[in-house]
Amino acid sequence: MARQDLLALTPDDLIALSNRGIVKRAQREVEAGEAGAEVSEDADGNVMARWPDGAACRISPREKLSDGCCTCAATAVCRHLIGTILGYQAQTSKSKDAPTAAESWDPGAIPDEALSSWWTAKQLALLRQQFDAGMVVELHRGARPGARLHSIAHSLRFLVPGDPRYTRCDCAEQAPCKHVPLAIWAFRLLAKGRD
């Protein structure tokens, strides 16, 4: 079972999750064949890599992508994780598991069960209150749908279809931040024509 979430991430998505310098460097290394890490995937879909500098990455299909997925000292998504994802994509693109071109999708289709994996019931209840109190939200459909939450001056993008973990918001929280459920609910209203 290939990790469709990791395969769906484009270089621009990876820049959104880390930064341009990290992605450019990792791309150069992969292209030069000097990836530096052996990337493997186990039967449960964990993608793992061990780096020459001692760092070890483990990207679980059931956890969010964060600095906690790598053993190095970085406090954000680091070059090891980006290198691991690029290395995984390079390995997998040789097989027929590679995904097709991205199509437009609706974040409103992400079910509440998926939200409860990443936010507590209490957090969601507070956010729901905030949402129901009324918000001005501007939504963009597409392969990378986006929401601009005018009321609280934040905007975010969804990077991987159906997966709230891979989001890029301009707030300071690690992805997925608390603005993601707000955006998902707004997309649901749009789907019902209640915008």
Q: In the complex, which residues of this chain contact Zn ion (CB under 5 A)?
A: 55, 70, 72, 78, 80, 154, 169, 171, 177, 179
| Neighbouring residues of 172: CB distance < 8 A, sequence distance ≥ 6 | none
For Cα atoms 126, 149, 6, give the angle at the middle one, nearest 5 degrees: 85
State both tokens at 93: 């693109």
Stretch (H or E) spanning 40: strand 38-41
| Beta carbon nearer to Zn ion, 4 or 71 | 71
Q: Which is nearer to Zn ion, 59 or 177 (CB)?
A: 177
Whose Cβ is closer to Zn ion: residue 3's or residue 79's? 79
* Residue 78 or 139 having the CB closest to Zn ion: 78
Report the length, in residues, of the chain. 195
Beta bridge partners of 47: 41, 59
Q: Which residue's CB is nearer to Zn ion, number 2 or number 182?
A: 182
* Closest distance to Zn ion from the beta carbon of 187 (Å): 15
Residue whose CB is less far from Zn ion, 97 or 138: 138
Cβ at position 103, least distance to Zn ion in Å: 25
- In eight-state DSSP terms, residue 174 is P
What is the separation of C-alpha 166 from the centre of its chain, rounded to a whole number of angstroms? Answer: 1
Min dist. Cβ of residue 35 to Zn ion (A): 14
Q: Which position has the token pair 């292209």?
A: 31
As measured in angstroms, the least distance from the Cβ of 166 to Zn ion is 13
Strands 167-169 and 154-158: antiparallel
In the complex, what is the shortest distance from the CB of residue 151 to Zn ion, in angstroms, rounded to a whole number? 13
Burial class (CB in 10 A: 0-12, 13-18, 19+), 129: exposed
Cα separation, 70 vs 124, in Å, equals 28
| Minimum CB–partner distance for residue 28 and Zn ion (Å) | 17
